[in-house]
Amino acid sequence: LPYNCQFLVEAGLYESADESARREEVLGELDKIVKDWVKQLTSQRGYTDQMVEEANAVLFTFGSYRLGVHGPGADIDTLCVGPSYVNREEDFFIVLHDILAQNEEVTQLQPVPDAHVPVMKFKFHGISIDLLYASVSLLVVPSDLDISQEAVLYDIDEATVRSLTGCRVADQILRLVPNIESFRTTLRCLKHWARRRGVYSNVTGFLGGVNWALLVARVCQLYPNAVPSMLVSRFFRVFTQWRWPTPVMLCAIEEEELGFPVWDPRKNPRDRTHHMPIITPAYPCMNSSYNVSTSTLRVMIEQFQFGNKICQEIEMNKASWSALFEPFNFFEAYKNYLQVDIIAEDDEDLRLWKGWVESRLRQLTLKKSV
């Protein structure tokens, strides 16, 4: 799809070769920091010289960076996998935090230990990093650790499973799509479309990066030989006709002996309340879009219908691709709206306060008016 690729380049969705190389360098430096941190702890805990020699941590990426669809300035989702004796509470959130705090290239360091998925957020050489930690039940983490294997899930808690999930899901998506390049171009296109149409946001009840990736991957599976321009129009056709809450799945849900809860509306009453189930393809399979409400689903269906109509017009040469990416005119569509202004003492407080308020906005809109 020459026009559309060109369109995406002109829309500024691809980073420069320089920025790409800088990300690689930053990840290399971060990898060295976490490896040194684990060696230091191994030595302090009195393990043998040979153990200190073999001590290791492995850095993985996930999210848009791992899928190859990140744009300029996007943050990098990273996961550090360490050995069983290096824990999250003290070793990661205190010891590693202090090591990062002393590094002058690290700015805006913000630990979030009690998040659903505990994370350390910071900028490293100006690049935003979200760093998760998973301690697996191995004394030595091999450099070629394959985290898509179920064995990594043995004998770990649910927060650790959640920390591993992002990587396991990204790897599975790339394994399950018939053509990775077509998938990437189509996904870039649809993420750009979703942002322009105001439906890209997991936190406010629309869809975030992983949700869009799973929907696009499903369409790629349904049309394995289609080029991206065809996949874009098929995407709208498929999801305008989709009978929600029928789940979107890339593969069958596996029941494993490990006993972690998986999405199953027959067994779990809570799963029956989900409006737009988009199921992750790695055990334990979850609904990645539980934030969607009846009203956000309605808005998204309207937008799918808009996309479908434009794509039909494009196919009949009655419209151009740029019509698909017309920004949604919120203030013309709605006479009444609620504006939330937030203020804080300084940048640091504002960032924390903004994150807290954003995460609660969904609850506010779900409250019934009195």
Feature table: binding site for Mg(2+): 75, 77, 130
**Annotated binding site: which residue ranges?**
62-64, 75-77, 130, 191, 200, 209-210
290 catalytic residue (yes or no): no
Which among 35, 39, 47, 64 is annotated as catalytic? 64
18 catalytic residue (yes or no): no
**Closest of 267, 265, 268, 264 to residue 283, by C-alpha:** 264
Which among 14, 31, 65, 75 is annotated as catalytic? 75
20 catalytic residue (yes or no): no
Which among 91, 130, 171, 271 is annotated as catalytic? 130
Task: Give the DSSP letter string of 41-89.
Answer: HHHHTT--HHHHHH---EEEEEHHHHHT---TT--EEEEEEE-TTS-II
Task: Give the DSSP letter string of 214-263.
Answer: HHHHHHHHHSTT--HHHHHHHHHHHHHH--TTSPB-SSPPPP-TT-----
Which among 191, 229, 233, 271 is annotated as catalytic? 191
Which among 47, 77, 163, 288 is annotated as catalytic? 77
**Annotated binding site for ATP: which residue ranges?**
62-64, 75-77, 130, 191, 200, 209-210
64 catalytic residue (yes or no): yes
Q: Which residues of 256-289 are buried (b: 16+ CB within 10 A; e: fewer)?
A: eeeeeebbeeeeeeebeebbbbbbbbbbbbbbbb
User: Is 192 strand, coil or helix?
Assistant: helix
Question: Counting runs of H as helices and runs of E as strands, what totals does the chain give?
Answer: 13, 5
200 catalytic residue (yes or no): yes
Which residue(s) pair with 248 in the sheet? Answer: 278
130 catalytic residue (yes or no): yes
* H-helix or E-strand spanning residue 183: helix 180-196
Locate 263 and state its tokens.
């999405």
Q: State the catalytic residues.
A: 64, 75, 77, 130, 191, 200
